[in-house]
């Protein structure tokens, strides 16, 4: 079955770390795939994502990986093996885009853009 990559992020601190959000069909979302060898091999993201449909990924400070989707934003500090909900003032609505500067995380939704300080 063909897969559709809905977003791609490369860790600015280590270009071998790559994350993609993947959609298999209109009714099935695989979530996040992660590579720590520049894309030669891929692993499915680990526990804690609540089977949400993920449409956006980005890297933040200290190689923190953020994923946005149908249940808001989640973060992983261990290469996508485990995930925790990242509220910290962000929306829990459907996140369609993520972007991170050195100090802020931005989440794009159908209701507007939300941001939070990462310090």
Residues 101-116 pLDDT 10s = 888 999 999 889 999 9
pLDDT band at 87 (very low <50, low <70, confident <90, very high): confident
pLDDT at 35: 93
pLDDT at 1: 43
Question: Are the CB atoms for 34 and 80 separated by under 8 Å?
Answer: yes
DSSP 60: -
Residue 13 has pLDDT above 90, yes or no: yes
Segment 75-82 shows an average pLDDT of 89
> What tens digit of pLDDT does each residue of 22-76 get?
876 555 556 888 999 999 998 887 667 766 788 899 999 999 999 998 888 999 9
| Dist. CA 23–CA 116, nearest whole Å | 27
Q: What fold does the segment set 4-110 form as a domain?
A: Thrombin, subunit H (2.40.10)
What is the reported pTM?
A: 0.89
Question: Are the CB atoms for 92 and 101 separated by under 8 Å?
Answer: no
pLDDT band at 100 (very low <50, low <70, confident <90, very high): very high
Domain positions in the chain are: 4-110
How many CA atoms lie within 13 Å of 84's alpha carbon, on the beta-carbon side? 6
Question: Are the CB atoms for 42 and 56 separated by under 8 Å?
Answer: no
How big is the chain by its Cα radius of gyration, in Å? 13
């Amino acid at each position: 079955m063909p897969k559709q990559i809905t977003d791609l992020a490369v860790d600015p601190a280590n270009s071998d770390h790559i994350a993609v959000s993947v959609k298999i069909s209109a009714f099935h979302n695989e979530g996040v795939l992660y590579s720590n060898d520049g894309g030669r091999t891929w692993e499915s993201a680990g526990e804690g994502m609540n089977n949400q449909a993920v449409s956006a990924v980005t890297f933040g400070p200290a190689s923190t990986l953020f994923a946005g989707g149908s249940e808001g934003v989640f973060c992983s500090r261990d290469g996508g093996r485990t995930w925790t909900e990242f509220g910290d003032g962000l929306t829990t609505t459907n996140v369609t885009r993520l972007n991170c500067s050195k100090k802020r995380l931005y989440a794009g939704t159908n209701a507007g853009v939300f941001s939070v300080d990462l310090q």
